Amino acid sequence: MLPNETMSITSLSIAEYKNIVILTGAGISVASGLSTYRGPGGLWTKLDVARIADGKNLPGTLPELWELYRGRRQQALTAQPNAAHRAIATLQKNPLPGQTITLITQNVDGLHRRAGSDDVLEMHGSAFYSRCFEQCGIEPFYDESLHEGVRVPICPNCGGRLRPNVVLFSENLSPEVLYRCMDAVQQCDLFIAVGTSGVVYPAAQFVGLAAQQGAYTVHINVESSRNPAFDAEILGPAEELLPALLPQ
């Protein structure tokens, strides 16, 4: 099944809604030069990457995981936020009176924050934070170093092994982040998914829950979603559509 209708960008008025949730996926960062995850040639279509990024295979794959995220960090550091990231940041900084804007992202590239979004619910963590694999008690810390020349960087607190602070396959989302996401989704009257298929959990759960609560649900992407919980979709590049949709 498909969303109920395909609409134009001018058919949606943000001013009519009070509690807005925007969920973004890898597609929003394509214009910044970053690849998607499950699209053609995407990161997770490569079988070896799927093995490396599975938490069940740690700690054996920790050196390979660092090699993978060393590359991801380097790409993200080189990339710049695009017009879609900036449009969301502007909306968050300048909401209409009584309006709340909650940004949830499946991305770990940090581009929303670099665009100026101060409050971002990063469901899968951030490639720019590291944490101690030995769980010595040190809090995850900002870390943009590529750690070149070492197989696995060491924890500055205990000397143990570090890992990227990202959620891998077979690992649970942060309970605190998930709670905040669910709370916002349950209270929203407009749910917009951008650059994501909307059919992979937990994203699919979010749109379904929003729909159950009576929110209007919109899918914005270059490809159509197969999730019938969306009321409508707007097809096209996020970097072109969001600046036209969101007040600047």
Which tens digit of pLDDT belongs to each residue from 61-106? 999 999 999 999 999 999 999 999 999 999 999 999 999 999 999 9
Considering the domain architecture, whether residues 130 and 155 belong to the same structural domain is answered as yes
Q: Which of 146, 166, 186 is the last residue of a domain?
A: 166
Considering the domain architecture, whether residues 73 and 160 belong to the same structural domain is answered as yes
Cα dist. 155→100, 103, 132, 158, 176 in Å? 38, 31, 6, 6, 24
For 169, list phi and psi in degrees, rounded to 5: -55, 145
Rounded Cα–Cα distance for residues 36 and 191 (Å): 22
pLDDT of residue 180: 97
Mean pLDDT of 149-166: 97
Q: Flag whether pLDDT at 206 surpasses 60.
A: yes
- 103 three-class SS: strand
Q: Flag whether pLDDT at 244 surpasses 50.
A: yes
Rounded Cα–Cα distance for residues 228 and 219 (Å): 11
Candidates 201, 243, 230; CA nearest to 25 is 201
Considering the domain architecture, whether residues 25 and 130 belong to the same structural domain is answered as no
Considering the domain architecture, whether residues 231 and 177 belong to the same structural domain is answered as yes
Catalytic (active site) residue 112? no
Mean pLDDT of 6-33: 88
Considering the domain architecture, whether residues 226 and 117 belong to the same structural domain is answered as yes
Considering the domain architecture, whether residues 60 and 150 belong to the same structural domain is answered as yes
Q: How many domains does the chain have?
A: 2
Question: What is the average pLDDT score of the chain?
Answer: 91
For 26, list phi and psi in degrees, rounded to 5: -60, -25
Percent of the chain with pLDDT over 70: 90
Considering the domain architecture, whether residues 157 and 229 belong to the same structural domain is answered as no
Mean pLDDT of 21-50: 77
Rounded Cα–Cα distance for residues 76 and 82 (Å): 12
pTM score, whole prediction: 0.91
pLDDT of residue 42: 52
Which member of 112, 124, 147, 219 is catalytic? 124
Considering the domain architecture, whether residues 46 and 148 belong to the same structural domain is answered as yes
Q: Which of 166, 197, 228 is the last residue of a domain?
A: 166
Task: Give residue 133's domain range.
Answer: 38-78+125-166
Mean pLDDT of 27-56: 76
Considering the domain architecture, whether residues 19 and 118 belong to the same structural domain is answered as yes
Read off the pLDDT band of 39 (50, 70, 90): low
Considering the domain architecture, whether residues 176 and 225 belong to the same structural domain is answered as yes
Considering the domain architecture, whether residues 110 and 183 belong to the same structural domain is answered as yes
CATH number at residue 148: 3.30.1600.10
